[in-house]
Structure 1
């Protein structure tokens, strides 16, 4: 039987995670090498997340990084995974992404989320209205108008932006955006890399309620998963301890630098003050794909049977920069 992985596109979600001991400059330089490797290996998309006031995550200036990645690659679609719309005026977003589309025609994706991507104090520092998230559907519609055809009747225009080829996506970790994407006939991406529990229900709801639109005639969904690939299963499990440690740091409200892997997480759980966080970490990473290419292929085939999607997107939190790129090479081999 032919694996569904043979034809499904593979894409990447990047947070610009800063490894311990690295500077931000070194991290962003490494990210460009990573993106060039993804381009060379035939990945479909390279999206960057928006986070603020998270020490160890360097993707706060998302649109700036998108421009850099697009400038250093040839065929990748580059975009946001996502722009947290409550943090930004829709007109500014339309102008930024209209400019990116003018620079890199047909290669720019605009993924939109309604979470702040930060804590409440930082939300206020971003001058965020607490009610903006409630207006998310209206602001998505506003963006669609700003980036759509210019019929010369608009008093406010996005210039650049109008008449652009920017693809708008809705992103989510719950049922809200799945339902909105279905109602608007927009493509949808589910954040299974940190919210696995609702993945199956949200994707099924999106398909069930989808209404065809001028933008999209049938549902198109992406599932994002944590991925740790290595030549052998044991090595992959070892490398995965970096992301486990970072999730633990997140749950404790600590900086999110990506730590080097450790031989055994068990020593950490022997600390009675941390043991209650173990189940939370496991829930967070429940859809992780960890192992050799054969192991990863088997798990992904099973996931696609349970949750059919048109595309898979992966995070790749490996501390060693060379092993991180090697994981991309192994990922590309899964199509064979």
Structure 2
């Protein structure tokens, strides 16, 4: 049986367009994805960037869940060290109460930004090393099982009486796989960020998985980048946007919007930039529907993924929607 197919949306801001356009595009893409047979739609969290409009995924979840009827909608993810566990618990209880049975809580420990912005978000009160305790607190609030000796044992996440949405751990290393496995959570591996660890992390997650009230068996998502078009040369042309935007992101230049194909093709890469571009090509699948059905399908089988989650960074909204539609026709056949 083919893995389920889902969307990871970073709400890119294309050059020549506004953040309002980017968010409207996300709503339209969600509707189109639902019509094409996608199972899940997750919104990312990123800060202090001119390329992306996804600084508040909880707001986008509400908007997109309200604009669709069947899709599961969630965070891909909430970067927990940036937030109060109580506030996250209350936000997702409200979302679950508004859209029962359709909300996912995906959690990460990366900042989703640069160190200075992370410091501004966290105001010195949390870092990645505190993630295990923050996660324990969040679970305590969501399940109303805070230890009696906890300083906030009498605090309740409101509204009370709302089921806990499914919890997923996002990761690109063995750490996230172990956390997800130990707690019975779902696990989403970010191949589009770090492809090297995918086989080890997905294998470890299944080997170390322990059933819990959060899950009785492993649930593994493989998140990949893809650019799909009817012809291979067109896919390569569209992927030039992803090449340049990924290189700029890796080198800390994130103030500019998502470049157009024309800007990307005209850009002259310096040797160190070209090395980054070539590395980025190991993280992205580019080609026709048939070619990507082969490459993504083979990776999903090799990692025993239950679900494939696609992120497409394409300047044209029309061609981005088409890319997702072509992938659905190829991978859900």
- Into which bin does the TM-score normalised by the smaller protein fall? over 0.9
What is the CA–CA distance in structure 2 between the aligned matches of 1:82 and 1:285, rounded to whole Å?
Answer: 24
Q: Does 1:291 align with 2:282?
A: no
- In the TM superposition, what whole-angstrom CA distance separates every residue of 1:200-259 from its partner, at most 9, and x where no partner exists? 111111111111112212211101000111111111111110100101221332225211
The aligned residue for residue 327 of structure 2 is: 331
Equivalent residues in 2 for 1:151-166, closer than 5 Å: 155-160=154-159, 163-166=162-165
**Aligned position for 1:303:** 299
Q: Is 1:246 matched with 2:231?
A: no
- 3-state SS of paired residue (2:261): coil
Q: Which residue of 2 aligns with 1:259?
A: 259
> Is the Cα contact below 8 Å between 1:193 and 1:285 reproduced in 2?
no
Partner of 2:131: 136
1:145 matched to which residue of 2? 140
1:216 maps to 215
Distance 1:256 1:42, change over 3 A: farther
Q: Aligned pair 1:26/2:32, yes or no?
A: no
Specify the SS of the correspondent of 1:126: helix
Stretches of structure 1 that go unaligned for 5 or more consecutive residues are none
2:83 alignment counterpart: 88
> Partner of 2:231 in structure 1?
232
**Greater CA drift, 166-175 or 154-163:** 154-163
In structure 2, stretches of 5+ residues that fail to align are none
Which of residues 111, 116, 119 is equivalent to 1:116?
A: 111
CA distance in 1, matches of 2:81, 2:126: 9
Provide the rounded CA distance (Å) in 1 between the counterparts of 2:171 and 2:310.
Answer: 15
Greater shift in the superposed pair: 123-132 or 94-103:
123-132
Q: Identify if the C-alpha distance between structure 1 residues 162 and 134 changes in structure 2 by more than 3 Å, giving closer, same or farther.
A: farther
Q: CA RMSD in A?
A: 2.1
2:166 corresponds to: 167
> How many pairs are equivalent?
327
CA deviation vs aligned residue, 1:242-294 (integer Å, no higher than 9, x gap): 1001012213322252111149859623xxxx211222233234131111111
Answer whether contact 1:147 1:162 (CA < 8 A) is retained: no
